[in-house]
Structure 1
């Protein structure tokens, strides 16, 4: 099938460089009108400049597309609201939001200042919240929306020196999980992308020969898969160097321990059953875990009659 974004309006945050730039350009090539958001700061979030965003807009216009540059700091809700207002004034709708903006302030937790932890959380988590909140009612009213959270293997699996970044990247998955439930009846689909690419964020973390294999375009192919009309929902897509995989959260079936026996010793005695993955399943909402445990409890009560 051919993936087209003709008639769609997309906002891509952090789109002046790296992955965001690649996402914005490919959306435009495939017909989308694109808001190129970029504060223009350094990798650690300091400074600002509109040059990078304007350059991407110029490239889109050269290919015959339509684009708008906006320098909103995604951690500032009023600036994000202004960006969305300008988008609506110009094109009248918002179909796609790719929450890509991010910064790094890597240090071991022992050496990390709380301010560095807070800033990374503000940009990655509140930045995604602010942008999503600003377009949410628009998408509900038009009964259509495609949103991507940018997560990371650092959050899902851990990475030394990235407690702040890892915490933020797991937080956006929790945000996604509930948005999926609340947006379903409005055809708002929310997914997550876990990229591995050669960008400003990774340029001094890997040798040149490895960076050459990690081109942003490979990740962009995955990003656009998550925002087209027939996109999945609640999917975590991992992409990099031409590889594509999914990450999913499963829960074991577990065990039941009657009230009079509940103790750490009893839990340890049944640890093999707690950990047994043979009947694990993916739960569609938090209430399903409660439902499962209550079912086990009621089955036990019935067995005692």
Structure 2
């Protein structure tokens, strides 16, 4: 899909993510030191579940990482022996991923392609029979058509190939931080500003948002602050994958996510953020699926 053909929502979101790249690369949130030391790690949720996806390890597997950002997680899998292709719609992110791959000596096992996700079949016209499609954390909310997303995944997987997907739980995306004039709620650990309902779970129309803040750097003020995002109920996502030809192997719900989704969340010390007391509702979800 040529740049001029991109719909407005894609142009707006791409400008937003283009600006995020240098902020994220320089942030402590994306700590690249372990990766540079040859000991790259994923978040605990993925580390616990990926052995289900690749029970014999990653050596020799062909992996497609959709919406890979600047490739840090892609290259973790390459360090473990996989041959990886990362795809992202941000050219600054792809350039950074290529530079990082060269720095780490992983050029021979990695390739990064700049393309809109919905143009993936044209960017990689040979489906190549990937063993694993991997896509995690903050991905499908930027996409209007979840059924096409699922069909693209199925198209790239070889028969018997596996999908691993993790993201914020859609029920958590109904909420947002309260307004400044809302009184604090009393939680088990004391007063806290509990998130309040803001968005409809079954809303099919996009949310046009404007927020200059960035989850990776509290001091960042983004110029391209506008985004266009969508809600995808969990049942909709699961059904789309089944209809595209995948069998769901597991669905897990989590009480933590890798970023401070709400201001009330607290760091757990393992890279995840969770509730300060009672786990009020799921914050994250993950699934594995196999192409039939």
The TM-score range, normalised by the shorter chain, is 0.3 to 0.5
TM-score (norm 1): 0.44
Q: Which has the higher helix share?
A: 1
TM-score, with structure 2 as normaliser: 0.46
Highest RCO, 1 vs 2 (Cα 8 Å, sep ≥ 6): 2
Higher CA-based Rg: 1
